[in-house]
Amino acid sequence: AQKVTQAQTEISVVEKEDVTLDCVYETRDTTYYLFWYKQPPSGELVFLIRRNSFDEQNEISGRYSWNFQKSTSSFNFTITASQVVDSAVYFCALSVLAGGTSYGKLTFGQGTILTVHP
């Protein structure tokens, strides 16, 4: 079974601060995929990034960056110079390729509520 833990329930920062959202996952599968989704106050789920289990290269996209470390089973997400529009719930999610039979269901963490104050 898969499990995703986002230990930070809520984070509150002031605009322009950097903030890191933690994600720790558990799986016995050797091939898996990690995702981050954003849920703004309007409620939709917006895909942000995907990572493969065999690709530990970190990624930066504008103010967003992701740090994937297999050794600690973590896939953390950093927002640099946060803005009010970054206020949302952020979900980390995991899917596995179980012998080619997986149909890709996502296992989500509990989510981290990020509030950025002006």
Partner 1 sequence: EPEVTQTPSHQVTQMGQEVILRCVPISNHLYFYWYRQILGQKVEFLVSFYNNEISEKSEIFDDQFSVERPDGSNFTLKIRSTKLEDSAMYFCASRRPGQGARQPQHFGDGTRLSIL
Question: What are the residues binding partner 1 (CB under 8 A)?
Answer: 31-33, 35, 37, 42-47, 50, 52, 91, 93, 95-97, 100, 102-111
Closest distance to partner 1 from the beta carbon of 16 (Å): 29
Cβ atoms within 10 Å of 113's Cβ, excluding its own: 15
Contact in structure between 8 and 89 (CB atoms under 8 Å): no
CB nearer partner 1, residue 16 or residue 47: 47
Closest distance to partner 1 from the beta carbon of 33 (Å): 5
CB nearer partner 1, residue 100 or residue 118: 100
DSSP 54: T
- Considering only CA atoms, which of 56, 46, 41 is closest in space to residue 88? 41
